[in-house]
Structure 1
Amino acid sequence: MRYTFKPDDCMVISIPLGSIRNVREGQLMPEKFTCVFKDAYKVFLRGRPKELGAAQLSIGAFVVCIGSLIAVEYDLNHLVYALPCALFIASGILTFAAGKSPFMPVVKLSFIFNIISLFWSITALVLCSLMGRQNDISNNISKEHMFVGLRVVVGVLCGFELILALVLIYWESKAICRTHFNTLPMITIKQDI
């Protein structure tokens, strides 16, 4: 026979029973017992979403600023990977808001934005490494070093965003992707001897 309901340890109820030998009339069941409920949102808060959201916001602002500087100074084609990094700013704001209040639609929206941020950070890393300079700046060696250095900084920041998005996707999936149906609380009855 297959069980249709299974305990999933989301709610653990422990009921200490009195000793059967020493029991008086109506004294077997206690008046108080403990119930531990593992809230999925509290599990999400262990991932420190406010701090990670602030880091995402900062990374997004830095990438947009540095990418705009590269575009203005060297070539406007570099805005292709710099301006869409404003998605990191929106993702950081949503992640911070999800960590601030237990409103599940905000957590779900943050989860979606973090998935998109993950894919965009991979795309931005590839575009940043493939796009070269269009203008002839080889005559000024310091300008050439500055261009390479700024692109390396943008690449490192996009790498950090990739890591942050992966971590946040993991913790947000703990809050969002959970079973709702066919689960019962785990009830433990302990008897004093």
Structure 2
Amino acid sequence: MRYTFKPDDCMVISIPLGSLRNTRDGQLMPEKFTCVFKDTYKIFLKGRPKELGAAQLSVGVFLICIGSLVSVEYGASHLVYTLPSALFIASGLLTFAAGKSPLMAVVKLSFVFNIVSLFWSIAAIVLCPLLDEGSPFRHLGADERSRTSMFVGLKAVIGVLCGFEMILALVLIYWESKAVCRAHFNTLPLITIKQDV
């Protein structure tokens, strides 16, 4: 027969018993004992969500600024992979708010936004090298070479920032999953009884 309930490490209760030889009637059980409860939100806070949320916000703002420069100079088609980076800003704000207040609804919403941010950062990394320079104004000679090298450099910066955003989203998904994905039922506290000899 399988156990319906099994203890996990979410709550650990330690009860020190007195010595059987030295106890009087009713003195075996102590009046105070320790109970350690692992709060999943406190585990989430170990991942430093406020700092990571601020980094996400900064990366999103920086990506939109660079994307607007690229789109003004080299064509509006480059807004395809830079404008949706506003998702990183929203994700950063939600992550910062989740680290500030212990509301599980905010943590869950931040978890969903970070999953979407992860997939968008992967898509942006794939889309970034596919689009070429689309400027209708072609210059000749050294100007064209410097313009092309500037374009390649800006796209490399965008690719690196999207990669950094992907890493941030992965780290936040890991820590938020510790708070969001937890067992709600079929768990009992682990009780240890220590007896003095």
Q: Quickly name the TM-score band, shorter chain normalised.
A: over 0.9
Matched residues in 2 for 1:125 and 1:14: separation?
52
User: What TM-score does the superposition give when structure 2 sets the normalisation length?
Assistant: 0.96
Q: Is the Cα–Cα contact under 8 Å of residues 59 and 161 in structure 1 kept in the other structure?
A: yes
Which residue does the alignment assign to 1:90? 90
Matched residues in 2 for 1:117 and 1:93: separation?
13
Q: Which deviations, in whole Å up to 9, do the C-alpha atoms of 1:124-181 show, x marking residues without a partner?
A: 1111111111123564222111111110000000000000000000000000000011
For structure 2, the 5+ residue unaligned runs are none
Matched residues in 2 for 1:33 and 1:184: separation?
18
Q: 1:137 to 1:90 in 2, by over 3 A?
A: farther
Matched residues in 2 for 1:138 and 1:8: separation?
70
Which residue does the alignment assign to 1:172? 176
Which residue does the alignment assign to 2:126? 126
Q: Identity across aligned pairs (percent)?
A: 76
Matched residues in 1 for 2:179 and 2:140: separation?
52
Matched residues in 1 for 2:130 and 2:18: separation?
73
Q: 1:8 to 1:24 in 2, by over 3 A?
A: same
- The one-letter code of the counterpart of 1:27 is Q
Which residue does the alignment assign to 2:147? 143
Q: Which deviations, in whole Å up to 9, do the C-alpha atoms of 1:61-81 show, x marking residues without a partner?
A: 000000000000111100011
* Superposed CA RMSD: 0.9
Which residue does the alignment assign to 1:12? 12
Which residue does the alignment assign to 1:62? 62
User: What TM-score does the superposition give when structure 1 sets the normalisation length?
Assistant: 0.98
Q: Is the Cα–Cα contact under 8 Å of residues 138 and 144 in structure 1 kept in the other structure?
A: no
The Cα shift of 1:186 comes to: 0.2
Which residue does the alignment assign to 2:160? 156
Matched residues in 2 for 1:138 and 1:92: separation?
43
